[in-house]
A and B are shown apart, each in its own frame.
Chain A
Amino acid sequence: MAELQERAEAKSEYKIEIHDVFFDYVQNKSKFAALKEINLNIKEGEFICVLGSSGCGKSTLLSLLSGLNHAKSGEILLDGKKIEGPGTDRAVVFQQYSLFPWLTVKGNVLFGIKQSGRKLGRKERSDLADKYVESVGLSGAKDRYPSQLSGGMKQRVAVARALALESDVLLLDEPFGAIDPKLRLELQELVSKLCTEHHKTVVFITHDVDEAILLADRIVVMEPGRIKSIHKVKLPHPRVREELVGTSEYEKLHRQLIMAFYDQVEEQIDAGVAL
């Protein structure tokens, strides 16, 4: 009874709870522990950036949140319920775009709308799809196929498709890693704006310190298998990069993150770990 009450209280406070999560990859009898004892609570509407170098387990953490992989021990709760597999209550954007090549831009978004399970007529669905396509600025390209789009445009479609699921939670796995810097900035601002508008709870994986500062409410820095430190970002929204650079708060945070981040990279090099 007491435990139930506790759960109920926890539910009111946190959207996502990660308790003592452990995960290892098993290959040819050798085991590699990707995550050890991860604990993290995420509030509703919070924008979390998970920052870390390659191989620190940040993508593994996201795959557990998305339900594509299962924690070997510990548990992850969403709205107080244990995550058992993939579901439409979480939308995922991958680095490789992973659009459906046989569907147009609008078709891809419609797929998301249909999967969301809302009871809508044909016309309503179509209008809604147009709205999402417009919100990522692709109205002019809505009848094109993914093979006819640039990387940046593809990722915009992936974002629109994820939004179309209308889930409370949005998970992004290094979504802009393969996009050139100028476009990346545009996309970062777009995602930041849309997530605030739609009041999403976001977990955003990145290895880019500036990206994390621009987007996050809290930045979780990871070292291999563990959370190293958590940094609150108190800068006001909307954040514009040119305005931030040079302010003392930004510089301080940037320095802290670089210290936390590169410390660990140096340790890895010393230990002879391949990056």
Chain B
Amino acid sequence: MKKFFQLQRGAWLEFGLATILMIVNIVLTLTFPYFTKHKAYYDSAAYIAVLFGSFVIYVFSLFWTKKKSTNDIAVVLYGFFILWEVSYKLGWVHNDLLIPSPEGLFHVFVEKGPEIGKDVWGSIQLLFWGFLLAAVFGTLLGLLAGWIPRVREVLLPISNVITLIPPLMFSAYMIMILSTFRQAAIAVIFFAVFWPTFQGTVVRVGQIDPSITQAARTMGVGTLGMLGKVIFPYCLPGIIGSISKSLRGAFMCLAGAEMLGINLGIGFFIEKYKSFADYRCVLAGIVTVGFITTVIDLAVNKLKAALIRWEN
């Protein structure tokens, strides 16, 4: 516990600076007057909550990792908020329709909290099913093709052609031919994830240390055992490592597909408020996407650390 609160002198100084900047932000939002006619008032509560929340995360990760960069990021972030707040209230930003105040942006989460929640949940469900199906089948087929040359020589050229086509180009077509938006979205994600997963697995199987498979063969391991008991566990770290990358790709395709015509999800949320010209909500939607992808990334890394104990 004592060690947890230990920091170097310089780190304490910068931590103090970041804390002061955070407090300045709160003082500014509560007391700094508007010097402009173009103004929209919003309650400061949501913004203050974000400032506090980010501060808690910052303090925790600073003491946990002891990284200098954590301090630097906090200073840059709170400095940016000050600049944003001041330039809005002084009227340097001339069009508050396009660029909202920080209070206005985060107030969206109060006004439209349930709606965003529902859309995020919708997106995550689509992402989950599309991704799960693609990852499972892509990995299985990749293992098979990676190990059996005849299968590989058929599938690899085909996949090389297909992966050159951006998966989003399938979207419009998928939305037409499949009966529900849900199915279409899942199909789009499937195509975005399946082929890269397949190719990645084939490459990883090809990179297996041949002495490992030879040892397995001398111990009487057959083809099925080789795939399931040797090649799969050997490739697992690589497979999990590639999850966050392909999830990011999947999320991009999903947001794209939602914008194209699926009436659910965070992409749909952004598209909808874009057509209402409510850019405050559009920006809030974009912030949400950033937040979710970050959370997914962190979760995948935790999963990898929990599952793969044999790599340093």
- Taking CB atoms, residues of chain B closer than 8 Å to A200 are none
Among B218, B230, B311, B312, the residue within 8 A (CB) of A91 is: B218
A98 contacts B214, C-beta separation under 8 Å:
yes
The reply on B234 being an interface residue by CB < 8 A is yes
Chain A contact residues, majority secondary structure: loop
Among A91, A96, A117, the residue within 8 A (CB) of B211 is: A96
The reply on A54 being an interface residue by CB < 8 A is no
- Taking CB atoms, residues of chain A closer than 8 Å to B234 are 100-102
Known: A100-B230, A102-B233, A102-B236. A145 touches B218 (CB 8 A): no
The reply on A67 being an interface residue by CB < 8 A is yes
A115 contacts B221, C-beta separation under 8 Å:
yes
B residues lining the A interface (CB < 8 Å): 209, 211-212, 214-221, 229-230, 233-234, 236, 309-312
B219 contacts A165, C-beta separation under 8 Å:
yes
Compute how far the CA of A127 lies from the CA of B150 in the bound complex, rounded to whole angstroms.
42
For residue A133, give the distance in angstroms from its CB to the closest CB of chain B. 17
A94 contacts B215, C-beta separation under 8 Å:
yes
The reply on A258 being an interface residue by CB < 8 A is no
A147 contacts B217, C-beta separation under 8 Å:
no
A86 contacts B217, C-beta separation under 8 Å:
yes
B211 contacts A98, C-beta separation under 8 Å:
yes
A94 contacts B233, C-beta separation under 8 Å:
no
Chain B contact residues, majority secondary structure: helix
Compute how far the CA of A91 lies from the CA of B216 in the bound complex, rounded to whole angstroms.
11
Among B214, B220, B233, the residue within 8 A (CB) of A68 is: B214
Interface residues of A in 49-81 (CB under 8 A from B): 66-68
- Taking CB atoms, residues of chain B closer than 8 Å to A148 are 312
Compute how far the CA of A135 lies from the CA of B234 in the bound complex, rounded to whole angstroms.
27
Interchain residue pairs A-B with the least CB separation, the first 5: A98-B215, A98-B211, A145-B310, A88-B220, A92-B218
- Taking CB atoms, residues of chain A closer than 8 Å to B209 are 96, 98
B215 contacts A92, C-beta separation under 8 Å:
yes
The reply on A87 being an interface residue by CB < 8 A is yes
Given A68-B214, A92-B215, output 10 extra A-B contacts at Cβ < 8 Å. A68-B218, A86-B217, A86-B220, A97-B211, A98-B209, A99-B215, A100-B234, A102-B234, A115-B220, A161-B219
The reply on A14 being an interface residue by CB < 8 A is no
Residue of chain B at shortest CB distance from A88 = B220
Known: A86-B218, A112-B219. A100 touches B312 (CB 8 A): no
Among A67, A103, A117, A147, the residue within 8 A (CB) of B311 is: A147
